Chains A and B, each alone.
Chain A
Amino acid sequence: MQTTNIFSFHGGIHPPENKAQSLTLPLGHPSLPKELILPLSQHIGQSSRPLVNQGEQVLKGQAVAINNGFLSSFLHAPTSGTITAIEERVIAHPSGLSDLCIVIEPDGNDCWTERKPLDDWRRISKTDVLSYLAEMGIVGMGGAGFPTQVKLQGAHKHPLTHFIINAAECEPYITADDMLIREKAEQLVLGIEVLQHLVEADQVIIGIEDNKPQAIAALNNALAQHNNTIQVAVVPTKYPSGGEKQLIQLLTGKEVPSGQHPADIGILCQNVGTCVAVHDSIYLGQPLITRFTTLTGDALKAPQNVEVLLGTPVKHLLDYAQATHKKISRLVMGGPMMGFTLNSIDAPIVKTSNCILAASKKELPAPAPEQACIRCGMCEQACPASLLPQQLLWFSKSQEFEKAEHYNLFDCIECGACSYVCPSSIPLVQYYRHTKSSIREAREAAVKSDLAKQRFEARKARQEAEAAEKEAKRLARQKTSTQKTEGKATETKKATPAAETKTAIPDESKKLKVDIALAKNKLKKLQKQLVEAQENEHVEEINHLQLQVTEQEKTLSLLEQQLEKMATTPAEKSTKAAPAPVNEELKKAKIDVALIGAKLKKAQKQLAESPDDNELKANVRELEKGLAQAQSLLDRLTSSTAAQKADTPQKASSKPTVNDDLKKAKIDLAIAKAAVKKVEKALKKAEELKAPESGTLRQQLQEAQQRADSLEKALSNPQTQSPATEATKSNASTDESAAQKEQIKKQKIASAMAKAAINKLKKRLAAEPDQAESIQQEIAAAEKRQQEADALLAQLTQSQDTM
């Protein structure tokens, strides 16, 4: 066995360990509780989807909930019994809120479902092993509950140099991992072997704090028996050496770059509990249904570690450990440094519950009143992330969020070391949490307000268009009554505004097109980011990005609708917009007349009072002249608008029926396309998990695609026909170009699809090198397809440009 270099990290604290209490008794096995409560959200990511209904009988180990998307997990019945409810129950969460839970009433038989160990895990493809682990509901058991298969997939991005098993357990009071290693060292080693087989790291290191001599001995013993290359690195006891980033620094001397993940520097961390769970699932076929949990605290008469079924209510465990309920002043799930308080003893144990600390008032007294920060810098000396906590406090208090971010607030791991040492009893971590969430909220609000602004502007444009349309119709109606009287007089005048509007409309549509292109670009970018975030496990970002993507999609479809409207009714539009400038002038002229009239009246009155005033007389004369001019202008304008109205209906009436059909067809097409997309997505997911449904899904996809294709054809037909029904040349040309555009779009889609296919194949190639040849052929074919599509696309765009 090699020895590894141990490095050091900045700061850290040495709180009283309080680990002896829970290690005096051997591992306990509590009896079956009256009911088991399984929250659907025990892990990071989307909550699972229940597979069972109320009243159903389930066997031990039977899956009761399936993963819901990429970042999610399975759930299994911890014992056999009846599903009594699927309802909101209090869960173990810092918020103290309720969440949807599957409630199982045990029948007491503890009857297993059929267990299928994965004996040939060395031979079958790694993807299959990963999907098996996903089906077994394995998540990280150290704290966050990150779905293990996702983490392992992420580890493939870079060649792994280090695979670190976190057995540091630096939090005071907790001894669950210590006990787990003592009890199951062999299983742990076998589990690590499975994981190492999956990730193939250069070095496998178990990091463990030097305050667990028995566990270290058990580990060395197990490793000696298995003659393994796994190293044990004993690190000095210092909180928070068990933090992922800190342990990596301790064992490798490397730092995980800010905002990145250990996988980005070729390191993977797994908790010991996870490794044992992997062993149990692969070798025994047992899904994750139990875990080791420490029951400790002064309020318990028999503090100890227990192997407990998931879903066991905390109350049951407290009774098992002979709790004096009156003595419990604070009930913490997790350790005293990073755990959270429970406000109900009915909350259940979940996959990540490593400790229940039932503390008496004396043990964890209420915090002392906060005093002023004297900037003593003790927090700074303790901070494992080398932050300046006192400055961050200052910025948090004064809500200078930009400065707080500049001082790397988001690199805070909330370990609590600063609060622990603060002589002024300032709850620093709480300030940081609040500031972080405020900043996140502000970011989200900024995105939302941007979108709202875009929506508002689009709505305004739409409303204006509608108003203009209405106005045009109104004028058309009015015109029919006055048509005969003043028909010919103003034919010459009408020509100019019409020309103006013709240029205005293409301008607008051009602008819209640019907008659409921009929106599409943004959407693509966002989608890319989303995929990246999912791959990189940025849980916070995923929801945020999802929101943005959907919003962007909405705006895009809105814009496209608008463009469609404009493209299909250019003629209508041109007449619609025409009267607007004339109307303006008309209004102005009317106002002028009224104004001058009023002035004239006033002057005349004055003149009547003092008839000898020459100045007034001159004034009146001038005003009369002005009035006459204004009146003549008004007359001219009214006659011209009236003449214009005469022309509108002929153009307006021609298209609507064709347009309606077209619209309908387009909508149908959009629906079909959406269906295709949906099925494609489902297929992708199924493929990822190697689920059996993938065959049927593929069929569905083909059907949906056919439907979409036929619709598209149908759509292109009326489009080519419609110009024939309308005699005007301009319309014909625009529709022709629209058809061409449609074709271009189609080619673009084809090219994009080919590209996607290539990418997918390449991925598969990386995952399954044994099928390399056939896949490579497929890739070549797809590339050819793409090239063809690209060539055609280029041709089309060229011809469009020349038009």
Chain B
Amino acid sequence: MALLRITSPHTQRAGRRTSWVMLMVILATIPGIAVQSWLFGWGTLINLAIAAITALLSEAAVLTMRRRSVAFYLKDYSALLTAVLLGIALPPSVPWWVTVTAVAFAVIFAKQLYGGLGNNPFNPAMVGYAIVLVSFPVPMTQWVGASDMVSSGSMLSLSQSLQAIFHHLPSIDSYTMATPLDGFKHKDSLSSTAAFNSIASLKGANLNSWLFINGAYLLGGLILLALRIITWHTPVAVLSSLSVISGVFYLIDPNHAATPWFHLTTGAAMFGAFFIATDPVTSCTSNRGKLVYGTGIGILIYVIRTWGGYPDGIAFGVLLMNFAAPLIDYYTQPRTYGHKKAKKGLTIKEDN
């Protein structure tokens, strides 16, 4: 009888492995994906398929080169999750090579070159998104509009979507329109009320479709919270700082600033707060740190949306805060049991 000799603890929580965590996050995006597909057609699903295949292939290729067990690492679903997040974030009609570029760059450069899962300082999905946003601005800003708003008056059919993504759809312009954020950004000197009355992308129908999408991702985020895969700190910090800063500027200048409600229900606000900013690898670790980190992202989102060169600021906001995360971590250590104060910074000092 050979007795196993290992140190304590001898049990583990059943079932909750890393792959389960990743899978749950993927599954929590389903409501959002469903709403997105319902509103904008097949494009998101096709993107997801392309992204998933690219991610798995690039991950497998790098793992082979690094002589790691391919099956073991593919089974943790982390590459798949990156693919899903990118597939959701990219416009539904974006050409296939944009998706492939984004995903391959995310997996190979932003993740595996740093040492694979757990070692990447930047959110891979957002690195991939930022690369294509900077490199291919035109396809990246063409977003399919709500079907009753666009000039063609209908959604892209499956074949049209495939054509738009894999080949070229000359009539694509009649299916796309600016997103509300884009529209509001280019209202120029119009006052807010005038803009909401005159600009097509700021009409009620278009705003509603984005409201639904954000609502669906909020639902997914709440599921993650309930499953205790994420804590409330980051999303609450992101959303509250975004609403506070937009509220302040709205109070100062209601004529030209948008309401907090507008900021929370358009663009990728909910998706970013619950699915992007909460990426554990690249965000802060302590609860207090997560609050600081989330607050920073919320502020950066508003800054980029309002004064920056891009309509939405999730990607850059998250990436910039990724830079700051280690520093924040040093200054937001929790107070350990039996200590009067929390330790700050990295100066090795006498105990308190």
The A interface, classified by DSSP as helix, strand, loop or mixed, is loop
CB contact under 8 A between A330 and B16, given known A337-B11, A338-B9, A359-B10: no
**Cα–Cα distance between A325 and B1 once the two chains are bound (Å):** 7
In the complex, the answer to whether B72 meets A380 with C-beta atoms within 8 Å is: no
When distances are taken between beta carbons in the complex, the residues of chain A under 8 Å from B333 are: 388, 407
A432 CB to nearest B CB, Å: 11
**Cα–Cα distance between A359 and B6 once the two chains are bound (Å):** 13
- At the interface, yes or no: A340 with Cβ under 8 Å from chain B? yes
- At the interface, yes or no: B286 with Cβ under 8 Å from chain A? yes
Please tell me which one of the listed residues B7, B16, B283, B335 contacts residue A427 in the complex, with CB atoms under 8 A apart. B7
In the complex, the answer to whether B18 meets A331 with C-beta atoms within 8 Å is: no
**Cα–Cα distance between A381 and B338 once the two chains are bound (Å):** 17
In the complex, the answer to whether A423 meets B336 with C-beta atoms within 8 Å is: no
- At the interface, yes or no: A222 with Cβ under 8 Å from chain B? no
- At the interface, yes or no: B5 with Cβ under 8 Å from chain A? yes
Which single residue of chain B is at the shortest CB-CB distance from A332?
Answer: B10
CB under 8 Å from chain B, chain A span 124-170:
none
**Cα–Cα distance between A408 and B78 once the two chains are bound (Å):** 31
When distances are taken between beta carbons in the complex, the residues of chain B under 8 Å from A385 are: 336-338
- At the interface, yes or no: A285 with Cβ under 8 Å from chain B? no
- At the interface, yes or no: A342 with Cβ under 8 Å from chain B? yes
CB contact under 8 A between A408 and B336, given known A373-B118, A420-B12: yes
In the complex, the answer to whether A374 meets B10 with C-beta atoms within 8 Å is: no
Which single residue of chain A is at the shortest CB-CB distance from B332?
Answer: A388
- At the interface, yes or no: A558 with Cβ under 8 Å from chain B? no
In the complex, the answer to whether B1 meets A423 with C-beta atoms within 8 Å is: no
- At the interface, yes or no: B65 with Cβ under 8 Å from chain A? no
- At the interface, yes or no: B154 with Cβ under 8 Å from chain A? no
**Cα–Cα distance between A422 and B16 once the two chains are bound (Å):** 8
- At the interface, yes or no: A368 with Cβ under 8 Å from chain B? yes
- At the interface, yes or no: B138 with Cβ under 8 Å from chain A? no
B154 CB to nearest A CB, Å: 43
Which single residue of chain B is at the shortest CB-CB distance from A258?
Answer: B338
B73-92 toward A: CB 8 Å interface, digit per residue (1/0)? Answer: 00010100000000000000
Which single residue of chain A is at the shortest CB-CB distance from B1?
Answer: A325
- At the interface, yes or no: B251 with Cβ under 8 Å from chain A? no
Which single residue of chain B is at the shortest CB-CB distance from A430?
Answer: B7
- At the interface, yes or no: A484 with Cβ under 8 Å from chain B? no
In the complex, the answer to whether A407 meets B280 with C-beta atoms within 8 Å is: no
B1-40 toward A: CB 8 Å interface, digit per residue (1/0)? Answer: 1011111111111001110110000000000000000000
- At the interface, yes or no: A505 with Cβ under 8 Å from chain B? no
- At the interface, yes or no: A406 with Cβ under 8 Å from chain B? yes
Which single residue of chain B is at the shortest CB-CB distance from A361?
Answer: B4
When distances are taken between beta carbons in the complex, the residues of chain B under 8 Å from A13 are: 13
Max chain B Cβ within 10 angstroms of own Cβ: one of A367, A374, A421: A374
A278 CB to nearest B CB, Å: 28
Which single residue of chain B is at the shortest CB-CB distance from A424?
Answer: B18
Please tell me which one of the listed residues B7, B116, B335, B348 contacts residue A340 in the complex, with CB atoms under 8 A apart. B7
- At the interface, yes or no: A207 with Cβ under 8 Å from chain B? no
CB contact under 8 A between A341 and B18, given known A258-B336, A258-B338, A407-B333: no
In the complex, the answer to whether B336 meets A411 with C-beta atoms within 8 Å is: yes
A319 CB to nearest B CB, Å: 14
CB contact under 8 A between A258 and B351, given known A419-B12, A429-B9: yes
Which single residue of chain B is at the shortest CB-CB distance from A408?
Answer: B336
In the complex, the answer to whether A423 meets B17 with C-beta atoms within 8 Å is: yes
- At the interface, yes or no: B187 with Cβ under 8 Å from chain A? no
A10 CB to nearest B CB, Å: 7
- At the interface, yes or no: B285 with Cβ under 8 Å from chain A? yes
- At the interface, yes or no: B119 with Cβ under 8 Å from chain A? yes
B22 CB to nearest A CB, Å: 9
In the complex, the answer to whether B118 meets A372 with C-beta atoms within 8 Å is: yes
**Cα–Cα distance between A424 and B281 once the two chains are bound (Å):** 13
In the complex, the answer to whether B280 meets A374 with C-beta atoms within 8 Å is: yes
- At the interface, yes or no: A738 with Cβ under 8 Å from chain B? no
Chain A interface size range:
35 or more
CB contact under 8 A between A371 and B338, given known A337-B11, A381-B231, A406-B343: no
Which single residue of chain A is at the shortest CB-CB distance from B287?
Answer: A380
Please tell me which one of the listed residues B3, B286, B338 contacts residue A343 in the complex, with CB atoms under 8 A apart. B3
**Cα–Cα distance between A372 and B8 once the two chains are bound (Å):** 20
CB contact under 8 A between A15 and B13, given known A388-B334, A427-B7: yes
In the complex, the answer to whether A423 meets B16 with C-beta atoms within 8 Å is: yes
When distances are taken between beta carbons in the complex, the residues of chain A under 8 Å from B252 are: none
When distances are taken between beta carbons in the complex, the residues of chain B under 8 Å from A256 are: 338
When distances are taken between beta carbons in the complex, the residues of chain A under 8 Å from B226 are: none
Max chain A Cβ within 10 angstroms of own Cβ: one of B116, B118, B340: B118
When distances are taken between beta carbons in the complex, the residues of chain A under 8 Å from B4 are: 329-330, 341, 366
When distances are taken between beta carbons in the complex, the residues of chain B under 8 Å from A328 are: 1, 3
**Cα–Cα distance between A390 and B119 once the two chains are bound (Å):** 13
- At the interface, yes or no: A339 with Cβ under 8 Å from chain B? yes
In the complex, the answer to whether B8 meets A416 with C-beta atoms within 8 Å is: yes
Please tell me which one of the listed residues A245, A340, A341 contacts residue B338 in the complex, with CB atoms under 8 A apart. A245
- At the interface, yes or no: B312 with Cβ under 8 Å from chain A? no
In the complex, the answer to whether A374 meets B118 with C-beta atoms within 8 Å is: yes
CB contact under 8 A between A406 and B348, given known A372-B118, A433-B7: yes
**Cα–Cα distance between A342 and B7 once the two chains are bound (Å):** 10
Please tell me which one of the listed residues B9, B228, B329, B337 contacts residue A420 in the complex, with CB atoms under 8 A apart. B9
CB under 8 Å from chain A, chain B span 99-124:
116-119
In the complex, the answer to whether B76 meets A371 with C-beta atoms within 8 Å is: yes
- At the interface, yes or no: A729 with Cβ under 8 Å from chain B? no
CB contact under 8 A between A336 and B336, given known A326-B1, A403-B346: no
When distances are taken between beta carbons in the complex, the residues of chain A under 8 Å from B287 are: 380
- At the interface, yes or no: B67 with Cβ under 8 Å from chain A? no
When distances are taken between beta carbons in the complex, the residues of chain A under 8 Å from B340 are: 257
A258 CB to nearest B CB, Å: 4
B288 CB to nearest A CB, Å: 11
Which single residue of chain A is at the shortest CB-CB distance from B335?
Answer: A386
Which single residue of chain B is at the shortest CB-CB distance from A427?
Answer: B7
**Cα–Cα distance between A334 and B329 once the two chains are bound (Å):** 37
In the complex, the answer to whether B11 meets A423 with C-beta atoms within 8 Å is: no
In the complex, the answer to whether A423 meets B7 with C-beta atoms within 8 Å is: no
When distances are taken between beta carbons in the complex, the residues of chain B under 8 Å from A96 are: 5
When distances are taken between beta carbons in the complex, the residues of chain A under 8 Å from B117 are: 371-372, 374
Please tell me which one of the listed residues B3, B72, B116, B335 contacts residue A331 in the complex, with CB atoms under 8 A apart. B3
**Cα–Cα distance between A364 and B11 once the two chains are bound (Å):** 6
Which single residue of chain A is at the shortest CB-CB distance from B289?
Answer: A388
Which single residue of chain B is at the shortest CB-CB distance from A412?
Answer: B336
Max chain B Cβ within 10 angstroms of own Cβ: one of A342, A364, A377, A387: A377
Please tell me which one of the listed residues A325, A336, A411 contacts residue B10 in the complex, with CB atoms under 8 A apart. A336
Which single residue of chain A is at the shortest CB-CB distance from B325?
Answer: A375
In the complex, the answer to whether B118 meets A380 with C-beta atoms within 8 Å is: no
A343-387 toward B: CB 8 Å interface, digit per residue (1/0)? Answer: 110000000000001010000101111011111111011001111
Please tell me which one of the listed residues B78, B228, B336 contacts residue A387 in the complex, with CB atoms under 8 A apart. B336
In the complex, the answer to whether A257 meets B338 with C-beta atoms within 8 Å is: yes
Please tell me which one of the listed residues A10, A94, A390, A433 contacts residue B337 in the complex, with CB atoms under 8 A apart. A10
Max chain A Cβ within 10 angstroms of own Cβ: one of B18, B21, B337: B337
**Cα–Cα distance between A764 and B21 once the two chains are bound (Å):** 63
- At the interface, yes or no: A236 with Cβ under 8 Å from chain B? no
A sample of 24 cross-chain residue pairs with beta-carbon separation below 8 angstroms, ordered by A number, consists of A15-B13, A258-B339, A259-B338, A259-B351, A331-B3, A341-B3, A364-B10, A371-B17, A374-B280, A377-B285, A378-B16, A378-B228, A384-B337, A386-B335, A388-B334, A391-B329, A403-B346, A411-B338, A416-B9, A420-B9, A421-B13, A424-B18, A425-B12, A425-B17
| The 10 nearest A-B residue pairs measured at CB | A416-B9, A372-B118, A258-B338, A385-B337, A408-B336, A336-B10, A376-B280, A372-B117, A423-B18, A330-B4
| Interface, chain A (partner B; CB < 8 A) | 9-10, 13, 15, 94, 96, 172, 245, 249, 255-260, 325-326, 328-332, 334, 336-344, 357, 359, 364, 366-369, 371-378, 380-381, 384-388, 390-391, 402-403, 405-408, 411, 414, 416, 419-425, 427, 429-430, 433
| Interface, chain B (partner A; CB < 8 A) | 1, 3-13, 16-18, 20-21, 72, 76, 78, 116-119, 228-229, 231, 280-281, 283, 285-287, 329, 333-340, 343, 346, 348, 351
